[in-house]
């Protein structure tokens, strides 16, 4: 015969430890639910905003987007990188190299003068910035270097340097050039126009314009509606 345990009339009590653990779990679940609902709400807001505004790149980003993007980008550049100063001392040769590099690779979006007022630069989202302003000039040398080398995610700014920690003197010369933008002379801007890449289509348009202006029987030059940015093409224009 098995002896039944004596009924003491007392309910089993939870140990104090498991009760506090239970409370902790409940708080954790509540916190998860709040975060989940908040994210869901933000998602709905974002969906509504996109439905109302579309995804066109023509608009200018809102002030809030601009601030969030700049803070995020700032935080994404490690402090050690940000503190770096340009190891290339300013010299006529280094500046000339940076200028030639810029005219060839960067001017299509940023313009020879760095103001970003090109067909491509002003139709992007976010737009290519006016680099003469404090927003750009206030960035440290190291920050400019990192942005050029690694590009900026979710924007039109490509990564130009090779990946990895190696030094890239070409990129440092571009940083020198960005610092020089405010002192650009009209002669330097003219020199750069001659270094801008020109597409076969723009070359043909310039040839047609030359033939028309010189009074030959050439038909009036056509104006393509989808021109690629060709800052250098204008050097062919006649007064
Ligand atoms: C295809 C277009 C495009 C080309 C080509 C391009 N960029 Fe950019 N760049 C951008 C855009 C768009 C931004 C703005 C990114 C942002 O808002 O964070 C930008 C931002 C920058 C910035 C940060 C400035 C600031 O204040 O936010 C630097 C520096 C820069 N570019 C340098 C260069 C250099 C140097 C080259 C050439 C080697 C180059 N870019 C070529 C589109 C371009």
Residue ranges of domains in the chain: 63-193, 200-236
**What is the C-alpha to C-alpha distance for residues 47 and 44, in angstroms, rounded to an integer?**
5
The answer to whether residues 210 and 238 touch, using CB atoms and an 8 Å cutoff, is yes
Q: pTM for the complete prediction?
A: 0.78
Q: How far is CA 165 from CA 79, 145, 149, 150, 157, in A?
A: 15, 12, 10, 11, 20
pLDDT band at 236 (very low <50, low <70, confident <90, very high): very low
Q: How far is the CA of 127 from the centre of ligand 1 (A)?
A: 9
Q: How far is CA 146 from CA 2, 26, 78, 79, in A?
A: 80, 45, 9, 11
pLDDT tens per residue, range 2-24:
555 555 556 666 566 678 888 88
- Fold designation for 63-193: Cytochrome Bc1 Complex; Chain D, domain 2 (1.10.760)
Share of the chain above pLDDT 70, in %: 83
The CB of 197 under 6 Å from ligand 1? The reply is no
Query: In the predicted model, what is the mean pLDDT of residues 52-67?
Result: 89
Which residue did the predictor score with more confidence, 219 or 99?
99
The CB of 156 under 6 Å from ligand 1? The reply is yes
Which residue did the predictor score with more confidence, 63 or 1?
63
* Residue pointed to by tokens 């709040």: 34
For ligand 1, what atom is nearest to the CA of residue 124? 12
69 Cβ partners below 8 Å, 6+ apart? 61, 126, 155
Tokens coding 7 = 């009924």
Would you call 2 helix, strand, or coil by DSSP? coil
**What is the C-alpha to C-alpha distance for residues 143 and 77, in angstroms, rounded to an integer?**
7
């Amino acid at each position: 015969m098995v002896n039944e345990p004596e009924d003491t009339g007392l309910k089993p009590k939870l140990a104090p430890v498991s009760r506090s653990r239970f409370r902790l779990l409940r708080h954790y679940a509540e916190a998860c639910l709040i975060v989940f609902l908040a994210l869901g709400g933000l998602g709905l807001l974002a969906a509504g905003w996109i439905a109302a505004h579309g995804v066109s790149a023509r608009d200018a980003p809102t002030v809030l987007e601009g601030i969030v993007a700049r803070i995020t980008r700032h935080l994404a550049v490690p402090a050690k990188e940000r503190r770096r100063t340009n190891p290339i001392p300013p010299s006529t040769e280094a500046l000339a190299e940076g200028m030639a590099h810029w005219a060839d690779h960067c001017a299509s979006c940023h313009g020879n003068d760095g103001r970003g007022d090109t067909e491509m630069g002003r139709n992007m989202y976010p737009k290519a910035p006016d680099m003469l302003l404090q927003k750009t000039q206030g960035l440290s040398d190291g920050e400019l270097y990192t942005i050029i080398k690694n590009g900026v995610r979710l924007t039109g700014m490509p990564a130009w340097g090779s990946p990895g920690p190696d030094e890239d003197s070409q990129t440092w010369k571009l940083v020198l050039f960005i610092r020089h933008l405010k002192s650009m002379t009209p002669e330097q801007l003219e020199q750069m126009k001659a270094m801008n890449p020109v597409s076969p289509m723009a070359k043909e348009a310039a040839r047609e314009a030359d033939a028309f202006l010189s009074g030959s029987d050439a038909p009036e030059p056509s104006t393509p509606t989808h021109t690629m940015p060709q800052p250098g093409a204008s050097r062919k224009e006649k007064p």
